[in-house]
Amino acid sequence: MASPVTNEAWVTLATNDSYAVGALVLGYSLRRANTNRQLAVIITPDVTQGMREQLNSVYDHISAVDVLDSNDDAHLALLKRPELGITFTKIHCWRLTQYVKCVFLDADTLVLLNCDELFERDELSAAADIGWPDCFNSGVFVYKPSNETFNSILNFALENGSFDGGDQGLLNMYFHDWATKDIRRHLPFTYNMTSNATYTYQPAYHLFGRNVRIVHFIGSLKPWMQGYNSLTHKVELREGTTHAVEHLQAWWDIFIADVQHRLQPSYAGLAGQLALMVVAEDVHIAADERARQLAWESGHIDYMGQDAFENIQRKLDQVINQHSKS
């Protein structure tokens, strides 16, 4: 594994305990992908103290933001544009000036494979939004922290608002030349693949699916809102869910292996309910095997570990012996 890089970071946002569950799974997915960058999470007052402690177990840096704080510049802006509350929280990511470059990931994303190469990209690099490809999707983007940029975006928001009422509209208006200025700032779709694309673009997914680095669970039904069968260790889709089962299963495998046993019933919302689940122990093995399979299929083979030649030979011998006995 490469040496740690401490002046660059993956950044996400958790506005309550439910989204903090998503942030925890995202954080562990980054750790499983062997990133050598820092992990940072921005939280709001609705994230409970207990959940903050859990976030601290996987994230290197926690930044508490309160846009209702009268001493905060965003508070004054919020008085004029109250509809942009969460948006003003998200753009605080530009205030993480202890880092020279960051990649922002929404808490409803999941990293399947190492993608530290994103830090080689310039601000503002992002993938096209499938709804309107001349706009970028703000669930994954590369940026350079700067108080000057933060204040500039804040003032821009005051004057212009957001065409969709959220951060994506605001950021596309601010970085208005993204579509035409520099193709190098257009990330491949594999770095921000909406999970329902496996159905709507099935031929393309069949060809390029193994290269997907980051999955984005857009829409109102998030992974942590799905059902889960603790006997079969399989995710059970809620009515109206359009996400691919395999991606939801990958999310739940990490949740069960790394997160669920850390939750407490006292946590707010769904996080407290998820803490009450009773799960068999062998799902930890399933999550590890799923991660290894994805790495193998993408060409990242653990030649010195489980995928070493002697282990492969041993498995082949076992299969041959079983076949000869039958």
The mean-pLDDT minimum among 1-5, 44-48, 224-228 falls in: 1-5
For residue 320, the model assigns a pLDDT of: 60
Does residue 301 surpass a pLDDT of 70?
A: no
d(CA 326, CA 21): 47
Which one is predicted more confidently, 200 or 316? Answer: 200
Question: What string of H, E and C letters represents the secondary structure of 215-265?
Answer: EECCCCCCHHHCEEECCCCEEECCCCCCCCHHHHHHHHHHHHHHHHHHCCC
For residue 199, the model assigns a pLDDT of: 66
Record the pTM: 0.84
For residue 158, the model assigns a pLDDT of: 87
pLDDT in tens, 217-270: 998 899 999 999 988 999 999 988 888 999 999 999 999 999 999 999 999 999
In sign, the C-alpha dihedral spanning 216, 221, 224, 229 is negative
DSSP string, 184-223: GGEE-GGGSEETTHHHHTHHHHHHHGGG--EEE--SS--G
For residue 206, the model assigns a pLDDT of: 85
Which one is predicted more confidently, 39 or 84? Answer: 39
Query: Above pLDDT 70, what percent of the chain?
Result: 83
Does residue 287 surpass a pLDDT of 90?
A: no
pLDDT in tens, 148-171: 999 999 999 989 988 888 899 999
3-state helix, strand, coil in the chain (%, to 5): 50, 20, 35
Average pLDDT, the chain: 87
d(CA 162, CA 143): 19
Pairing of strands 37-43, 61-64: parallel
For residue 278, name the pLDDT band (cuts at 50, 70, 90). Answer: confident
CA distances 119 to 162, 178, 193, Å, are 27, 18, 18
The pair of three-digit structure tokens given for residue 34, joined into one six-digit string: 């062997």
Annotated domain spans of the chain = 1-285
Helix (H) or strand (E) holding 27, with range, is helix 17-32
Q: What is the mean pLDDT of residues 13-32?
A: 98
For residue 283, the model assigns a pLDDT of: 42
d(CA 95, CA 166): 19
For residue 308, the model assigns a pLDDT of: 54
The mean-pLDDT minimum among 40-54, 100-114, 161-175 falls in: 161-175
For residue 1, name the pLDDT band (cuts at 50, 70, 90). Answer: low
For residue 5, name the pLDDT band (cuts at 50, 70, 90). Answer: very high
Using DSSP, state whether 102 is helix, strand or coil: strand
Class of domain 1-285: alpha beta
List the one residue out of 76, 109, 107 whose CA is nearest residue 90: 107
Tell the residue number behind the tokens 């491949």, with chain if given: 188
For residue 275, name the pLDDT band (cuts at 50, 70, 90). Answer: very high
Residues 6+ apart with CB under 8 A from 201: none
Amino acid letter at 271? A
Contact (Cβ atoms closer than 8 angstroms) between residue 283 and residue 256: yes
For residue 280, name the pLDDT band (cuts at 50, 70, 90). Answer: low
The mean-pLDDT minimum among 76-80, 117-121, 130-134, 176-180 falls in: 76-80
